[in-house]
Amino acid sequence: MQDKSTSLAAAGPFSEFERQAVYRAIFTRRDVRSQFLPRPVAAATLERLLLAAHHAPSVGFMQPWNFVVITGSEVKAAMKAAFVKANAEAEAQFGDGRRQLYSALKLEGIGEAPVNLCITCDRTRSGPVVLGRTHNRDTDIYSTVCAVQNLWLAARAEGLGVGWVSIFNDADIRSILKLPDHVVPVAYLCIGHVEELHSAPELEVKGWRKRLDMRSLVFSNAWGRRR
């Protein structure tokens, strides 16, 4: 056990330039489906992305994540087939007005992205009682999503695009990636170099849905109370 006093270090605000870099990553990050370049992702770059993910906050320092790095064309083809099946089911759920636009949208880049990555959550890691997880059992899943977002922002800084594909039947992912029952596939990501990104979210560009006014989403001290 380290002495607390020796572990504390000065931690003020970043310089203006550093601060702008963090916001640049946040504001220019996109969910990428079509802009992936075939150029391979260097092992050292992928390692940095995974290390960024591994430094996410986690409930009780549980670190419940694993990273299944997919580069094999057979696994990609199986995942693509699982997507195609699920996407047909999804399409049928939209009413006539939206279905045509839905069908026109490209929603994944499984085959084009040099790297696919499944980030999972091991719900048994570190034992049955986890600090901070006693009252909300899903906080381990939340930790895993924080890892996804860390990776996504690091990828933006590295010039890599990331697309999160969520249109799968859970049983298909489990079977293709051979996941044990106690492990949940939280995110299936397509990763590759990009030279261009949309200047706004693609679903906004394509007319699917607009960005909400942030101020309309903020309340003061209780739900519904305006500032």
Indicate the residue among 80 and 146 with the shorter CB distance to a second copy. Answer: 146
User: Are the C-beta atoms of residues 175 and 85 closer than 8 Å to each other?
Assistant: no
DSSP secondary-structure letter at 118?
E
Indicate the residue among 150 and 191 with the shorter CB distance to a second copy. Answer: 150
Q: Tell me which residues in 112-141 interact with a second copy (CB under 8 A).
A: 120, 126, 129, 131-136, 138-139, 141
Q: According to the binding rule CB under 8 A, does residue 189 interact with a second copy?
A: no
In the complex, minimum distance from the CB of residue 9 to a second copy, in angstroms, rounded to a whole number: 5
Q: Tell me which residues in 74-93 interact with a second copy (CB under 8 A).
A: 75, 86, 89-90, 93
CA torsion through residues 191, 194, 198, 200, sign: positive
With CB under 8 A as the rule, give the number of residues binding a second copy.
Answer: 124
Angle between helices 16-28 and 139-158 (to 10 degrees): 110
Q: According to the binding rule CB under 8 A, does residue 187 interact with a second copy?
A: yes
Q: According to the binding rule CB under 8 A, does residue 111 interact with a second copy?
A: no
In the complex, minimum distance from the CB of residue 110 to a second copy, in angstroms, rounded to a whole number: 14
In the complex, minimum distance from the CB of residue 4 to a second copy, in angstroms, rounded to a whole number: 7
Tell me which of 113, 154, 190, 191 binds a second copy, using CB under 8 A. Answer: 154
In the complex, minimum distance from the CB of residue 199 to a second copy, in angstroms, rounded to a whole number: 5
Nearest Cα residue to 143 out of 60, 52, 46, 26: 60
Ramachandran angles phi, psi of 41, nearest 5°: -90, 125
In the complex, minimum distance from the CB of residue 30 to a second copy, in angstroms, rounded to a whole number: 8
- Give how far Cα 177 sits from Cα of 23, 70, 76, 85, 89, Å: 35, 9, 10, 17, 22
Binding mask 27-66 for a second copy (x = CB under 8 A): xxxxx---x------------x-xxx-xxxx-xxxxx-xx
- Give how far Cα 26 sits from Cα of 136, 145, 150, 187, Å: 28, 16, 10, 19
In the complex, minimum distance from the CB of residue 124 to a second copy, in angstroms, rounded to a whole number: 14
Q: According to the binding rule CB under 8 A, does residue 167 interact with a second copy?
A: yes
In the complex, minimum distance from the CB of residue 90 to a second copy, in angstroms, rounded to a whole number: 4
User: Are the C-beta atoms of residues 187 and 164 closer than 8 Å to each other?
Assistant: yes
Tell me which of 41, 115, 153, 190 binds a second copy, using CB under 8 A. Answer: 153
Nearest Cα residue to 159 out of 190, 191, 189: 191
* CA distance linking residue 165 with residue 110, whole number of Å: 8
